[in-house]
Structure 1
Amino acid sequence: MLPGESIWLLVMLWATPCQPRESHPSEYDYVSFQPELGRQYQSGRFYSRPAQCVDIPQDLPLCHGVGYDKMVLPNLLDHETMVEVKYQASSWVPLLSKNCHPGTQVFLCSLFAPVCLDRPIYPCRGFCEAVRDGCEPVMQYFGFPWPEMLRCDQYPREDVCIAGTSPNATQAPRPRKTEVCPQCDSEVKADTMYEHMCASEFALKVAIREVKKDGGDQKLVLKKKKALKRGPIHRKDWGDLVLYLKNGANCPCHQLEQLNGQFLVLGRKVKTQHILTAIHKWDKTNREFNRFMRKVKKSKCPKPHTVFM
């Protein structure tokens, strides 16, 4: 098979205009650098180096197991360096665990870590709209709308595009009407918690004095706090720090039913509010929680270089 033929075989297997197809990771093993790649990926922006095909790094958890192991840099979001890709992509890692759409990982990685072909292949507009419609309601719990950089009308309706089939996208999205608040619906798994902590702007060990309704949100008034990662919390805000559980007034959060003990809270600052994105009981009897804490002490999160959203 000629190199050009292998490229289009890959496109037909995975990136089709309308019909999603079943795929397997082995179908991507033969993808390699294409001589015309640099010229085809120019988008009018000046880059300090030509487009190149590189390994998806181990510390890019958003795209682990996506079905291929090499990506184009700069990517389709105009991130020119791997440092920028890693930091921007880290903000999306917590969303994967919410199962808001089965194709979320493929959609995001098609842009953050696009597969190496001799021309850029964008997600189909319908695929983008399906992921957006499934995930934007969940994102609103974290204080974020669907970002402008991912607006769906910029992607093609037809021509060759990624329609949404993924090797690991086999489960339908879960209904969210009767579920707990997404911020309170995180498993105690050491690796997942660590990735979420690194994706968060702040991580705190807290004791909670009371929880109040504040419009459609819940407001957590703290009585004790210790920073594992302080991030954007200014000194003037530290003394009277409150956290907001966005859109949490009408969904259950079992962690907040009993306020005794202490909690691990993760979050981000959105405008003037400190938004809670995950909460866990501080449970030293839990093996996974203890493994998470050991990892926090031994490892360092990547340093942020840009700000997402």
Structure 2
Amino acid sequence: AGNSKDLVLSLSFFSLLHLLLIVSAADEYDYYSWQSDNFHSGRFYTKQPQCLEIPADLRLCYNVGYKKMRLPNLLDHESLPEVKQQAGSWVPLLAKRCHADTQVFLCSLFAPVCLDRPIYPCRSLCEAVRDSCAPVMETYGFPWPEMLNCDKFPMDNDLCIPMQYSDNPATQPPVPKPCPPCDNELKAENIMEHYCASDFVLKMKIKEVKKDKGDRKLIAAQKKKKVLKHGILRKKDLKKLTLYIKNGANCPCSQLDSLGANFLIMGRKVDQQLLLMSIHKWDKKSKELKFAIKYMKSNQCPTYHSVFQ
């Protein structure tokens, strides 16, 4: 029962990566106001700006390092329910660890720190996060959205939120990063968040793995597949099932080193292609997997906007 309660509280898609701003308290953070009429002038709200506690169920930003946010936020969301719905779809990106400043950047827009004037992220911060995270999003079939167009944000010589972590090549690990769908712990929470974000979920065997241009192609074995979530899959999709890891021709995927076992496969259908979102070997002894499968049968997923949109 305790596990179930914890999982319910944590379900807003993939979660992980508790990234803090470099702060000890909001009042001590070195933010500076800048003239808002230099940027997005003429903004009109039906409500006066107000300061609110960042609620625990706003998981994208609850642990960002300050406790109060400004509403309306910098994406024109005027109510907390709207912020939660829109921000919930971005939690997956934190789990992918595509850039150390992902949370700082997103929360500066979804839950801006409460000051007398809005402080926008610097363009360089946006560009750094975009350049690292857009390829990961593309793996799942999502483009970098127009609302995060970096040209909208102020140059670094304006007063804005800068990068907190600069890339240092000397500290980069020498090993290549795993393909995003393969880079997931076998934890009930992770499984359920992928389950809720996926169009379909299957227990199946893989016959063959091939490179297809820049992608990796997974060809399903003809043996019977167990459908755990049918979604938009059609019968003909199941008969000749082929999945793709987009831009995944050369990245490591340890799960695919041996193809003898059953796999837990989760994916989305994008432009007539079935894209892999998550893959785990089906470990019968795993308590985490057993708990997740049991949860799938007895609980509904939260209602969220499309992931990364």
> Do the structures match in fold with TM over 0.5?
yes
Q: CA deviation at 1:150?
A: 1.0
- Matched AA of 2:110: F
- Structure 2 spans left out of the alignment, 5+ residues: 1-19, 30-38
- Matched AA of 1:161: C
Q: CA deviation at 1:134?
A: 2.2
- Residue equivalent to 1:251: 251
- Matched AA of 1:69: K
- Residue equivalent to 1:161: 160
* 1:156-235 alignment, distance < 5 Å: 156-157=154-155, 158-165=157-164, 174-175=172-173, 178-222=176-220, 223-233=223-233
Given that 1:84 and 1:306 are in contact with CA atoms closer than 8 Å, whether structure 2 keeps it comes out as no
Q: CA deviation at 1:107?
A: 0.8
Structure 1 residues 260 and 176, CA gap change in structure 2 (3 angstroms): same
| Deviations 1:71-105, CA, capped at 9 Å, x for gaps | 33433223344444334333332322332221111
Given that 1:206 and 1:262 are in contact with CA atoms closer than 8 Å, whether structure 2 keeps it comes out as yes
- Residue equivalent to 1:301: 301
- Residue equivalent to 1:65: 63
Given that 1:93 and 1:199 are in contact with CA atoms closer than 8 Å, whether structure 2 keeps it comes out as no
- Matched AA of 2:250: N
Distance 1:242 1:50 in 2: 52
* 1:132-171 alignment, distance < 5 Å: 132-157=130-155, 158-165=157-164
| Deviations 1:131-163, CA, capped at 9 Å, x for gaps | 122223333333334322212111111332111
- Residue equivalent to 1:264: 264
The farther-off stretch of 238-247 and 108-117 is 238-247
Given that 1:90 and 1:199 are in contact with CA atoms closer than 8 Å, whether structure 2 keeps it comes out as no
Given that 2:21 and 2:104 are in contact with CA atoms closer than 8 Å, whether structure 1 keeps it comes out as no
- Matched AA of 1:102: A
- Residue equivalent to 1:279: 279
- Matched AA of 2:99: H
Q: Secondary structure at the match of 2:60?
A: helix
Q: CA deviation at 1:213?
A: 2.7
Please give the TM-score of this superposition, normalised by the length of structure 2: 0.73
Distance 1:307 1:178 in 2: 26
Distance 1:147 1:120 in 2: 21
Given that 1:100 and 1:174 are in contact with CA atoms closer than 8 Å, whether structure 2 keeps it comes out as no
Structure 1 residues 226 and 44, CA gap change in structure 2 (3 angstroms): farther
Structure 1 residues 199 and 306, CA gap change in structure 2 (3 angstroms): closer
Structure 1 residues 64 and 264, CA gap change in structure 2 (3 angstroms): farther
Given that 1:208 and 1:224 are in contact with CA atoms closer than 8 Å, whether structure 2 keeps it comes out as no
Q: CA deviation at 1:44?
A: 5.8
Structure 1 residues 117 and 194, CA gap change in structure 2 (3 angstroms): farther
Distance 2:163 2:298 in 1: 38
Given that 1:93 and 1:196 are in contact with CA atoms closer than 8 Å, whether structure 2 keeps it comes out as no
| Deviations 1:24-64, CA, capped at 9 Å, x for gaps | 65412799xxxxxxxxx997677665544334333333224
Distance 2:251 2:273 in 1: 20
Q: Secondary structure at the match of 1:63?
A: coil
Distance 2:149 2:175 in 1: 25
Q: Secondary structure at the match of 1:178?
A: coil
Given that 1:53 and 1:116 are in contact with CA atoms closer than 8 Å, whether structure 2 keeps it comes out as yes
Q: CA deviation at 1:287?
A: 3.1
Distance 2:109 2:262 in 1: 39
Distance 1:305 1:98 in 2: 19
Given that 1:72 and 1:115 are in contact with CA atoms closer than 8 Å, whether structure 2 keeps it comes out as yes
Structure 1 residues 187 and 305, CA gap change in structure 2 (3 angstroms): closer
The farther-off stretch of 204-213 and 152-161 is 204-213
- Structure 1 spans left out of the alignment, 5+ residues: 1-21, 32-40
Given that 1:93 and 1:195 are in contact with CA atoms closer than 8 Å, whether structure 2 keeps it comes out as no
Distance 1:106 1:64 in 2: 12
Distance 2:67 2:149 in 1: 26
Provide the alpha-carbon RMSD of the alignment: 3.6
Please give the TM-score of this superposition, normalised by the length of structure 1: 0.73
Given that 1:218 and 1:247 are in contact with CA atoms closer than 8 Å, whether structure 2 keeps it comes out as yes
- Residue equivalent to 1:106: 104
Distance 1:24 1:131 in 2: 17
- Residue equivalent to 1:27: 25
Distance 1:226 1:48 in 2: 51
